[in-house]
């Protein structure tokens, strides 16, 4: 589809200008109105302009009409006293959504290819990627990733969006690094805890171990064993104790005998001196045997009482003396072991909790990796189904390549030829290219560009600054 006639009235300083359906070069000095023609055509096709004033000074309405050889016509009016007007018709039938329709028949690179050559590398890459037609929205992103990834400019084209998602400075990559760092730290903590926990540590056993009951059991056993040992020791000392009691009795009897004998001697010695008391002394002498017998009875009674107590103690001891000593070493070792093991419980539980956290973190890290890899593989999938602006286009790490080479490797002339290739790659689109400022190209590059447009059947409207005072339109 080519233009058959372009009519401009009262726009951008142009009073009236008409261009036929052929490729033309518009020449003249600076300020002659060359760029105004280009701006008017861009305005017709995009409804936008970088200029503050669209209508020619002194007028209230400006208009541009673009007619094509396929029956398409575009009529756009800028009006100062009422709303602007646009009408797009195909073979006399009105197009209901004109602005949306116009975007399907023209690309930004067709409207300003010279500006494309002056863009930065990143701007050129974005411009090419923006031409890839792939129907997507935020719901599509959510279906792929389960969420809308943060830190991404979703006003970009889909391939740049995916590149930002998987980039090293992106949220997923940085989050995965943070998670992996936390995993390493927690694993180090776990290793530090584990080195102090015995091999084969049974946390469940020691958590449920009744240390209090075991302590009571041990104390009871020790108490009974003490009674048995004391009983045996007491029984072993019975004979000695009995001998001691007998000795005490003999000592008491001996002492009594000595006392009586001494008294007898004293009395016998005084008989001669105390004749008057002989009778009394004899009477008293007669009671001495009785007195002796009484003392013997007291000694016997003391002996019998002490022996009875000793026998009673032996009776108590006999209850324990034949009992077996209960071994407590094993129970003591078990309790000692339990005390040590129970001390490990808190650290063991802390280690297990941390291991569970590590598992969760590993799952998060794997999910981040999956999403990063997804963002890296989706461009290839998209390019298999998307409509590409030029043959040989691939994308690596968000950078468009033409036949394996980046856009930045191309000269200005090659970049303009690329714009031509993009223009003709849409057969149903408007086959026109606007070249504003062709004087920026050397003669060889300019002539080569014009020749390629003709060879490809592409209509072009070019402007070139010359020393001519008047605006000259030359059909080529």
Bridge partners of 90, per DSSP, are 72, 93
CATH class of 3-133+387-475: alpha beta
> What is the mean pLDDT of the segment spanning 233-260?
85
**pLDDT tens digits, 138-195:** 999 999 999 999 999 988 888 888 889 999 999 999 999 999 999 999 999 999 999 9
Total residues belonging to the chain? 476
> What is the mean pLDDT of the segment spanning 52-67?
91
| Domain ranges (residues) in the chain | 3-133+387-475, 137-199+356-386, 204-341
CA distance from start to end of the chain: 18
Share of the chain above pLDDT 90, in %: 30
Higher-scoring residue by pLDDT: 276, 472: 472
**DSSP state letters, 286-347:** HHHHHHHHHHHHHHHHHHHHHHHHHHHHHHHHHHHHTSPPPP-HHHHHHHHHHHHHHHTHHH
Phi/psi at 274 (5° precision): -120, 65
Is residue 423 over pLDDT 80? no
CA dist 83 to 39, 77, 80, 97, Å? 20, 9, 8, 17
Structure tokens at 85: 């007007």
Contacts 24+ apart (CB under 8 A), 66-73: 66/3, 66/5, 66/6, 66/41, 67/3, 67/4, 67/5, 67/6, 68/1, 68/2, 68/3, 68/4, 68/430, 69/1, 69/2, 69/3, 69/4, 69/21, 70/1, 72/1, 72/105
CA separation for the pair 234, 228 (Å, rounded): 10
> What is the mean pLDDT of the segment spanning 369-377?
91
Residues ≥6 apart with Cβ < 8 Å to 181? none
CA separation for the pair 366, 355 (Å, rounded): 16
- What was the pLDDT predicted at 369? 94
- What was the pLDDT predicted at 108? 82
Q: Using DSSP, state whether 251 is helix, strand or coil.
A: helix
The answer to whether the beta carbons of residues 450 and 460 sit under 8 Å apart is yes
CA dist 104 to 45, 70, 107, 133, Å? 11, 15, 8, 10
Is residue 277 over pLDDT 70? no
Model confidence at 118, pLDDT cuts 50, 70, 90, reads: confident
Is residue 66 over pLDDT 70? yes
CA separation for the pair 313, 210 (Å, rounded): 38
- What was the pLDDT predicted at 74? 95
Is residue 53 over pLDDT 80? yes
- What was the pLDDT predicted at 173? 93
Higher-scoring residue by pLDDT: 399, 147: 147
Q: Dihedral of the CA atoms 436, 437, 443, 449 (nearest 10)? A: -20
Phi/psi at 344 (5° precision): -80, -10
Higher-scoring residue by pLDDT: 316, 6: 6
Higher-scoring residue by pLDDT: 437, 5: 5
Model confidence at 243, pLDDT cuts 50, 70, 90, reads: confident
R_g (Cα) of the chain, nearest Å: 60
- What was the pLDDT predicted at 274? 66
Could you tell me the sign of the dihedral formed by the alpha carbons of 55, 56, 61, 66, in that order? negative
């Amino acid at each position: 589809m080519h233009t058959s006639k372009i009519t401009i009235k009262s726009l951008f300083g142009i009073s009236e200008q008409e261009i036929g359906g052929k490729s033309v070069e518009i020449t003249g000095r600076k300020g002659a109105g060359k760029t105004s023609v280009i701006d008017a055509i861009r305005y017709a096709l995009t409804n936008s302009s970088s200029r503050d004033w669209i209508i020619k000074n002194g007028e209230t309405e400006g208009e541009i009409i673009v007619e094509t050889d396929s029956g398409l016509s575009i009529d756009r009016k800028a009006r100062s006293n009422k709303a602007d007007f646009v009408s797009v018709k195909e073979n006399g039938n009105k197009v209901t959504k004109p602005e949306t329709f116009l975007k399907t028949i023209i690309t930004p690179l067709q409207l300003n290819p010279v500006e494309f050559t002056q863009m930065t590398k990143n701007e050129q890459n974005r411009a090419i990627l923006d031409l890839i037609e792939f129907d997507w929205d935020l719901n599509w992103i959510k279906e792929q990733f389960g969420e809308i990834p943060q830190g991404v400019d979703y006003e970009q084209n889909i391939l740049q969006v995916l590149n930002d998602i998987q980039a090293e400075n992106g949220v997923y990559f940085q989050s995965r690094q943070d998670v992996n760092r936390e995993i390493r730290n927690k694993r180090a903590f776990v290793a530090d805890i584990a080195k102090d926990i015995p091999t084969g540590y049974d946390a469940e056993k020691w958590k449920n171990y009744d240390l209090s009951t075991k302590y009571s059991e041990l104390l009871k056993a020790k108490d009974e064993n003490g009674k048995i040992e004391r009983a045996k020791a007491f029984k072993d000392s019975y004979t000695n104790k009995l001998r001691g009691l007998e000795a005490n009795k003999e000592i008491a009897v001996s002492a009594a005998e000595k006392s009586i004998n001494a008294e007898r001697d004293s009395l016998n010695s005084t008989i001669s001196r105390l004749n008057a008391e002989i009778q009394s002394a004899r009477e008293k002498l007669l009671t001495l045997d009785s007195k002796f017998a009484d003392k013997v009875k007291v000694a016997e009674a003391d002996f019998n009482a002490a022996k009875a107590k000793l026998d009673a103690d032996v009776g108590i001891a006999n209850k324990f003396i034949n009992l077996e000593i209960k071994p407590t070493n094993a129970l003591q070792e078990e309790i000692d072991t339990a005390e040590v093991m129970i001390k490990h419980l808190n650290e063991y539980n802390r280690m297990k909790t941390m291991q569970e956290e590590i598992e969760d973190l590993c799952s998060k890290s794997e999910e981040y990796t999956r999403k990063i890899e997804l963002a890296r593989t989706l461009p290839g999938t998209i390019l298999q189904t998307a409509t590409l602006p030029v043959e040989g286009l691939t994308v690596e790490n968000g950078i468009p390549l033409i036949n394996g080479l980046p856009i930045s490797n191309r000269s200005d002339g090659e970049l303009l030829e690329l714009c031509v290739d993009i223009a003709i790659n849409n057969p149903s689109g408007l086959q026109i290219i606007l070249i504003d400022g062709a004087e920026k190209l050397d003669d060889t590059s300019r002539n080569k560009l014009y020749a390629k447009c003709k060879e490809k059947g592409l209509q072009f409207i070019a402007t070139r600054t010359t020393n001519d005072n008047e605006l000259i339109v030359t059909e080529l």
